[in-house]
Structure 1
Amino acid sequence: MDINTGSAPAASGIGHIYIDLPGVRLHIAEAGAGTPLLLLHGVPQDASVFNGMIPALAEGHRVIALDTRGFGQSSMPATGYALDTQVADLVGLLDALGVDKTRILAHDLGAVYAMMLCLAHPERVHSLVSLSIPHLFLRFNLAFLPLFKNAWFDPVLAIPGMARLLMGSGRQVLARYMFNHFVHDPGCLDPEQVEAYLARLREPGRAAALGALYRQCVMPTFIKLMRGGYLDQRLTVPTLLAVGEHDEAMSASLLEGYEPYADALELVRIPGAAHFVVDEQPGAVLAMAREFFARPGH
């Protein structure tokens, strides 16, 4: 594995490096010193979603904001998007950076990777703030039907060619739908930032990588969740599960019933936000995360 300094555009105080792991080159933005804090973005964003809060988080933390494989400035291999491989990317990244143990702040699919890292390698994680996903200890029941309504595009994007058509070309109708539909107030999104995400998806191969992610990771993980595939595991890492109070997909049925499977999991609803909580309520997310990480043992 190799670590290379990069010349990517940087926000003030944020440096950029590239880390070569087997089959992928990962880009990270890094700032500060102290206890490591790994930041993981969701779909269809990248690590730049955290730029506004990195300076504050870097007060007392070594902040490591990762573009997960296929996103941002990381490479976009045709394969390697399965959940186990994404977790292996995180382990490889921590090893390459000399990080034995980290705190994590993660959103959307990045939070799924983070929670799986906590299950598979709890010794590598101090604590986790997970944004906008349910816990993993689910068993299908009829109360989950609203989730299918809001996730209708998941199987669509898994169809070969559809991600390129709907996310990476033309008017990018599905990408724009995601940003407009899953927020409480569409006006909260920075239009320039949204256009930057859309421009990245237009890069040759980027939308195809997104389609591979849905085929290899999103749909298999969703099916496993609905089958109760994680009910034989236990979450021992202190975890704060935070969701927007207006997130229609996060029904009570998806947020309850974790007690037999988690040692220290707390639930919080963030006012004035739906799914894209980092964009909608960055101040609330920042304050919540800093308070949680400051607790003894976290």
Structure 2
Amino acid sequence: MISKEDFIHKDRIIKGISDDGSIKISVVKTTDVVKTARKKHGLSLLNTVLLGRAMTGTMLMASELKGEERIQMRLEGNGPVQLLVAEANRVGEIRGYAQKPQAELNYENPDTDLSDGLGVGLLSVRKTLYNEAEPRTSSIELVNGNITDDLAYYMVQSEQVPSAVLLDVGMNKEGEVTEAGGLLIQRMPDAPEGAIERLQEKLLDFDSISSLFSEDYYIDDIMEKAMEPTKVKELDRQPVDFFCRCSRKRFVSALAMLGPDDLKEMKEEGQELVCHFCNEQYHVSREEIEELFQQTKAKMN
């Protein structure tokens, strides 16, 4: 059973706005989300930090959506990580994966930098929104590869919203995740000149999010600290979790959409299907594939 203290400090996101309505802020704690992702995918130190930041940033962006609208961030580069995918929705469900989960850098090289993990590449954001038949996608070139700077640049270039971003995954000497989270500050259209620039400059010397969580700051405290001396009022808060909606039924339904020739090749041995996002494995027997094969043939006659 979860203790009262753990429940109070569990992963959540909070949204707030300055008293004059000129600045919005979101703060999220994703410690358990990142730990779960690492365990499910067997992530290296490098991928734990990078995918953790990507999932945290995606959740911050998803907090601006409605209902079960969702947003997906893809980061592709020529570095050893190659591809990261993170997805979140407005109700606080986060998931993600790394194409090369064991990818690592040579930390003995003094010139090694976190951004080398992704290298040169693209950040793409796809939004699945209500009342739009097709997802909306936009891309930018990676400006750093540390994801924090890349997301801030994306907000300005693609969303046309000057923003300040902090994303953080803390690790101890044993290579274990201590705390994780982030914040996103956005300028509203009627913000006074220089308001977001002052906050961006302030965040350059701001304590790391993981260290603040380790010192028993919570999302409320960090929101107030980041906005000082401006007063901020809470708009919304909700839990966030690593959660994937995959199921065996969904995978079987996907197989049913294949043609008879494809199903014929599969039915001799059955299939082991793995979800990219959560690494869950599902077995579909020969008998089930045979039944799908016969159903598909019948539809074509």
TM-score bracket for this pair, using the shorter chain length? under 0.3
Q: Which has the higher strand share?
A: 2
- Please say which structure displays the higher CA radius of gyration: 2
Which protein, 1 or 2, shows the higher relative CO under an 8 Å CA cutoff with sep ≥ 6? 2
* Normalised TM-score (structure 1): 0.25
* Normalised TM-score (structure 2): 0.25
